[in-house]
Amino acid sequence: MTEPDARPKRFYTSAAAQRLGEAWTVALDGRTLKTPGRAALALPTRSLAEAIAEEWDAQGERIDLLGLHLTRLANVTLDRVPETREALADEVARYCETDLICHIAEEPEDLIALEEGHWAPIRDWAADTLGVILVPTEGIRAEPQPDASLEAARDYALSLDDFRLAALALGCGLYGSALLAMAVVEGVLSAEDAFESSRLDEAWQIARWGEDEESAAATEAKREEAAALGVWIRALAG
């Protein structure tokens, strides 16, 4: 027997961006969206409001709540980030302690060259631009990172507005790397390219041994989330 579709039915005809004082918001058939915390969905740019409206317009007869990546990130930004900025900055610093792009493969040489070709420039950029100087190591062994660099990462996170801090925190988890997330927020890398950079080892292994359907589906779900993060960052630019 077919399982009933638990997704909510679409209850609106169209979604559109509209002004909300000095900010922007999204309206469904003229009714403006609110966050789960009942705050107004006040967005800093028209581009972001339009992107979220497009996300709602793209829904079919049923609403895929998990697919509303931009809406969920906006809800988190407005409901949670203002009260958790210090905690988020601490989390960014913790990611620096075990940053993915500081853990270089021990072998073979072609994988090492591939990783360093992508990762060393980002480490250099973070060191030169943000003062986040992280020490690379081989394999999964953790290497203590300089306290000054962890503090620089924390200061950088706190320097961001709530919308970019939310993006930074999401990127850290998505990539397993604070440095890649910082590069995305600063426009040095696209969110999509950063995702592919974060899975160099995985892609190298798949090219040789193949991939099962479950892993492939999980990767595609993360790739979709990275694409949404890319839309978010570009939309914040206006």
Look up the pTM and report it: 0.95
Domain with 106, as residue range(s), is 84-236
- What does the pLDDT look like over 122-164, one tens digit per residue? 999 999 999 999 999 998 888 899 999 999 999 999 999 999 9
Residue 157: its H or E element: helix 147-159
Give the end of a domain, one of 61, 79, 97.
79
> Quick check: 210 pLDDT over 90?
no
pLDDT-derived band of residue 238, with 50, 70 and 90 as boundaries?
confident
Residue 4 lies in a domain: no
Please count the structural domains in the chain. 2
Nearest to 33 by CA among 63, 47, 53: 53
Looking at the fold, whether 149 and 206 belong to one and the same domain comes out as yes
Percent helix, strand and coil across the chain, each rounded to 5? Answer: 60, 10, 30
122 shares a domain with 182: yes
Question: Cβ distance 28 to 59 under 8 Å?
Answer: no
What's the CATH number where 123 sits? 1.10.3580.10
Domain shared by 23 and 116, yes or no:
no
